[in-house]
Amino acid sequence: MSQPIILYDIPGQGPVKAMSGNIFKARYTLAYKGLAFKSVWVESKDIEERMKAIGAKPTGRKPDGSDFYTLPVIQDPSTGAVVSDSFAIAEYLEETYPSTSTVFPRGSKALISVFDSTFMQGMGPMFPLIATTVYTKILPTSREYFRENAEIRFGTKFEDISPEGPKREQHWKNAKDFLGVVDGWYSKSGGKWIMGDTFSYADIIAGAWVRCFNGLFEGEKWEEISTWHGGRWGRLLEEINKYPILD
Amino acid sequence: MSQPIILYDIPGQGPVKAMSGNIFKARYTLAYKGLAFKSVWVESKDIEERMKAIGAKPTGRKPDGSDFYTLPVIQDPSTGAVVSDSFAIAEYLEETYPSTSTVFPRGSKALISVFDSTFMQGMGPMFPLIATTVYTKILPTSREYFRENAEIRFGTKFEDISPEGPKREQHWKNAKDFLGVVDGWYSKSGGKWIMGDTFSYADIIAGAWVRCFNGLFEGEKWEEISTWHGGRWGRLLEEINKYPILD
């Protein structure tokens, strides 16, 4: 690999621009494999145009049936490849750089792909809370676009997605319940990682979202989350942050 | 191990009495590990009383909040252990007989427990079809009990759970769609098993249900199922049937 891989990410307002759970997955994968990479920042409102321009594949469809583009996307100058979707990026990096540390050890790829979709489905009931918080962190120039899309996605006025009060409390309960399920998975593993003593992409999935929470709910709320389930999430963040994900 | 493990199963009317997907999981686990076992047949209507009598744990709750007992349950004369639930049985056998072939290779237990619950959830939309067919295969003495319980579970008159016609066709479509998802998981594995070249409890889960379909939908319908998804299910049944699950 002669030139660093380009990672397209969405900038937040803070000094650490990275904030998206799914994009943290690509960051941890690149970092764990020791591959050099360089961030290119694209505001949400510009993703479609920019990704079409580099020939990235859409990752889904909008309600009107047209192509939907999301990040992360990577562009690898050494091969010319442009790859969308965090799991597909992990697969691409495994195949293209087989001498780097593997994130799918010992025949685990199919099992981890099931883990990935089950994890994302389990996150569903806390997305209103995440979307509402992300909104406060993105650049002002992307707010209108973000708001319109969130209203379509959740089928309600933006202010009603996760307002302070009982609805927001329920979303926090959903978050804690789901992390309780993930804690149960870790408890079954017999080690500190999902595959026992072996780090894998399953830990990248969980770690990426914990890192996302850490950024979104910084301060007192994160302090609370980090103590849930016997302190599992504080420890996981500390462990996974050994990999340098910011360029 | 001096005496065979007792496996409690529900008898069907055919010459091969075994017919339950979840109980086939315990059979394949015992067979793959080469552990001697002996079937004891318990009709559905008698499960609660018989399992209470041997000190088996319930596996859930009834709608009225009281304990719910299911099979498989195993009783191991060598240790005195009584274990309910197919996954817990696999865990028990792994721990108690560590020198036998493992069904959770290489740190895969937590990932396979996620696979197990995701698989069972995916089966949900075809359960009406399964329940309606199982009813025709159980002993006449258990029919009334089975019918009453199915009506509570599906919240409708037994005849309306999966009647011939568009509703049944939809349940068949659900079955084919879900097997399509499972086929996608196998395709990701890079081998003939979910863990590539390595057999695991994930294949026992899929294989047990395929074996169940083979028994329930014998004849023309099974011939059709066995050709779905490039013949994946016919091949899986053939492969997994190398393990002798009938005592």
d(CA A172, CA A176): 6
Report the gap between the CA of B73 and the closest CA in chain A (Å): 21
Report the gap between the CA of B26 and the closest CA in chain A (Å): 19
Q: Which band of pLDDT confidence, cut at 50, 70 and 90, is reported for residue A113?
A: very high
Contact A202 B111 (CB under 8 A): yes
Using DSSP's 3-state secondary structure scheme, residue A72 falls into: coil
Contact B107 A109 (CB under 8 A): no
Task: For chain B, give every domain's residue range.
Answer: 5-96, 109-240
Q: What's residue A1's pLDDT?
A: 57
Question: Which of A188, A193, A201 to mutate: most B Cβ within 10 Å?
Answer: A188
Residues of chain B whose C-beta is under 8 A from some C-beta in A? 105-115, 117-118, 185-186, 188-191, 193-198, 202
pLDDT higher than threshold 70 for residue A160:
yes
Q: What's residue A64's pLDDT?
A: 87
> In this complex, which of A106, A111, A186 lies closest to B112 when CB atoms are compared?
A111
Question: Which of A108, A113, A183, A195 to mutate: most B Cβ within 10 Å?
Answer: A108
Q: Which band of pLDDT confidence, cut at 50, 70 and 90, is reported for residue A200?
A: very high
Q: What is the DSSP letter of B226?
A: T
d(CA B107, CA B105): 6
Which residues in A lie closer than 8 A to residue B118 (C-beta atoms)? 114, 117-118
Which residues in A lie closer than 8 A to residue B198 (C-beta atoms)? 106-107
d(CA A4, CA A77): 7
Contact A195 B105 (CB under 8 A): no
Residues A3-43 have pLDDT tens digits of 999 999 999 998 899 999 999 999 999 999 999 999 999 99
Q: Is the separation of the CB atoms in A234 and A214 below 8 Å?
A: no
> In this complex, which of B110, B113, B197 lies closest to A107 when CB atoms are compared?
B197
d(CA B233, CA B210): 7
Nearest CA in chain B to A88: B188
Q: Does the interface ipTM go beyond 0.90?
A: yes
> In this complex, which of A191, A194, A197 lies closest to B111 when CB atoms are compared?
A194
pLDDT higher than threshold 70 for residue A55:
yes
Q: List the pLDDT tens digit at each of the 247 positions of chain B.
A: 579 999 999 999 988 999 999 999 999 999 999 999 999 999 999 999 999 999 999 999 988 899 999 999 999 999 999 999 999 999 999 999 999 999 999 999 999 999 999 999 999 999 999 999 999 999 999 999 999 999 999 999 999 999 999 999 999 999 999 999 999 999 999 999 999 999 999 999 999 999 999 999 988 999 999 999 999 999 999 999 999 998 8
Q: What's residue B1's pLDDT?
A: 57
Contact B195 A105 (CB under 8 A): no
Contact A106 B109 (CB under 8 A): no
φ and ψ at residue A16, rounded to 5 degrees: -90, 105
| Residue positions counted in chain B | 247
Residues B163-187 have pLDDT tens digits of 999 999 999 999 999 999 999 999 9
> In this complex, which of A110, A193, A202 lies closest to B194 when CB atoms are compared?
A110
Give me the CATH code for the A5-96 domain, please. 3.40.30.10
d(CA A36, CA B247): 58
Strand duo A67-68 + A60-61: pairing: antiparallel
Nearest CA in chain B to A91: B188
Question: What percent of chain A is predicted at pLDDT more than 90?
Answer: 94
Strand duo A60-61 + B5-9: pairing: unpaired
Which has more pLDDT, B219 or A116?
Answer: A116
Contact B105 A106 (CB under 8 A): yes
Nearest CA in chain A to B184: A110
Which residues in B lie closer than 8 A to residue A193 (C-beta atoms)? 107
- Residue with the two structure tokens 């009317």: B13
Give, in degrees to the nearest 5, the angle at Cα A115 between A7 and B123: 135
Which residues in B lie closer than 8 A to residue A113 (C-beta atoms)? 185, 188
φ and ψ at residue A37, rounded to 5 degrees: -145, 165
Q: What's residue B87's pLDDT?
A: 98
Q: Which fold has domain A109-240?
A: Glutathione S-transferase Yfyf (Class Pi); Chain A, domain 2 (1.20.1050)
Which residues in A lie closer than 8 A to residue B106 (C-beta atoms)? 105-108, 195, 198
Residues 6+ apart with CB under 8 A from B137: B12, B13, B14, B19, B215, B216
Among A81, A80, A82, A85, CA closest to A69: A85
Mean of pLDDT values over A180-194: 96
**Distances, alpha carbon A118 to alpha carbons A112, B106, B233, in Å:** 10, 21, 23
Which residues in A lie closer than 8 A to residue B195 (C-beta atoms)? 106-108, 110-111
